[in-house]
Every structure is written in C-alpha cells, then in structure tokens.
Structure 1
Amino acid sequence: MAMNRRTRRHLQRQGEMTADGAPASRRERRQPASASPTTERSGPAQFVGEVRSELKKVIWPTRAEIVNYSIVVFITIVILTAIIAGLDWILGEGVLRLFDVN
C-alpha cells in the first residue's frame, strides 16, 4: 500500500502502524452498548422515582419569563398572520386583475 509521509505519521499516532511501517496488532474492539447483555429491568416505582429526581434538576422558568415568552410568541403570530393575509390579498387581487374578473 503506497502512502505518503503524512498518512504514515497519522496512522502511527493512531496506533495502527508501528515506527518501521508494519501494521500494528489489532486491539480488541469494544462491543456497542446495544450488543451488551441486557440488565435487569427496573420496576414502575423505581422509574417514577428516577423521573422525579431528574425533574428536580431542571431549571424551571419563572412566572415573569413565561409571561415574556408568551407575549413574544403572541406578537410574532400576529405579525406573521398579518404578513400572510396581506400577501394573500395582494396575490388574489393580482390574479383577479390578470384574468379581468373584477
């Protein structure tokens, strides 16, 4: 296999080639997590307990933040609705004039 100096050095750094250019012995590859033996399943009570403990770690937004976010979303919806309605009206009028329906 012909390779340049840069490729050879890269393979040596990765441990796939020895200093003399011979292929390094293959290391054992770890099995993917899905191929590992299955562990015992937890019960519903343990699952709910773990979910509650994870939810305690969540940083919940304050009431003021929720109000601010809601206002921003409402204003954005109003603006986008106005833009779409305006474009619909303009394009509708254009098509009607194009076909001389008015």
Structure 2
Amino acid sequence: MNESLRPDVTEKRMFGGSSFLLGGSMTVGVVRDEAIARVGTDRAEQALARPGARPTDFTGRPMRGRVTVSGPTPAENLRARRRPRTPGAAHPHACCR
C-alpha cells in the first residue's frame, strides 16, 4: 500500500488489479495493461470519445460512469518522445512542432 496518500484515499486490490478509492469509492485503477476510471455519468460520453476508451464491462453489462482505457503505457510514451528524430521530421506532439 502507498503510505503517502491522503487520509481519505486508499489503495485496494480490485478487478484483479490495483485501485484507488476516494472516500470508499473507486476513482481509478489498473487491470493488466488497462486503466479504469470513474468519470461520472455526466462525463462518460465525452470520455468514451477519447482514443482507446470504451465502456467498462466485467459482467456483460457496462458499468455506468466508468471507462476503460487501453493504449500505450506511460513508459512507451516516454520512449517514443526520446526517440532520435531525423532533421525536418514532424514531431508527434503539437506542442513540440
């Protein structure tokens, strides 16, 4: 468990992975190589429009207000940013063009 968390945040094994709860409710977790986030029903449609996002579904019935996100891991993203670039090649991030 992470001892440096706020007192109202706890870490718990859930869904075969590790999750963080705020006030006893799951906010975010990691299962295998995917992230699960509670985004709320009012933001679910917007969250599902993002690349790699899909409804969270463990039982054949989607969980309201939660999304599962798959895609490159943070380490893979970091390696991609550190790759040498050829002169004149477009950088994948708009901030770095």
TM-score between the two structures when normalised by the length of structure 1: 0.25
Of Structure 1 and Structure 2, the greater helix share is in: 1
Higher relative contact order (CA 8 A, sep 6+): 2
TM-score between the two structures when normalised by the length of structure 2: 0.26
